[in-house]
Amino acid sequence: MSRNPLNDLGESLGDYVREQRTAAKLSLRQLSELAGVSNPYLSQIERGLKRPSAEILQQLAKGLEVSAESLYVRAGFLDAGAVSSDSGVPDVRRAIAEDPVLTARQKKTLLDIYESYVEVA
């Protein structure tokens, strides 16, 4: 029996999409309409037969009302370490702090700029 080369993708992304869809009480057809993705293509994503683009993942995230980042991580487009586990939002401060290319001064400057744009908790 031949092994599906995208099987790992299906187990992580496809299963996750299916779980989120069923939790939202949506049929495959309903999600395909909400996301603007064909019913057969969505079925292939859930079964791990197709690797969707970032744009398709964004559309699915909107239809499922989940963060696109959670789908990007499952699809391997985004490193799980770059997303905080509690909110699904990229951890910008940590990414800046851990960047080996930036100098200490550059890190401080970037953090100052970033924090001037967001509300500090």
pLDDT, tens digit, 9 for 90 and up, residues 42-69:
999 999 999 898 889 989 989 998 877 7
pTM of full prediction above 0.75: no
Contact 34, 61 (CB under 8 A): no
pLDDT, tens digit, 9 for 90 and up, residues 77-120:
777 665 555 555 567 777 777 778 888 888 888 878 877 777 64
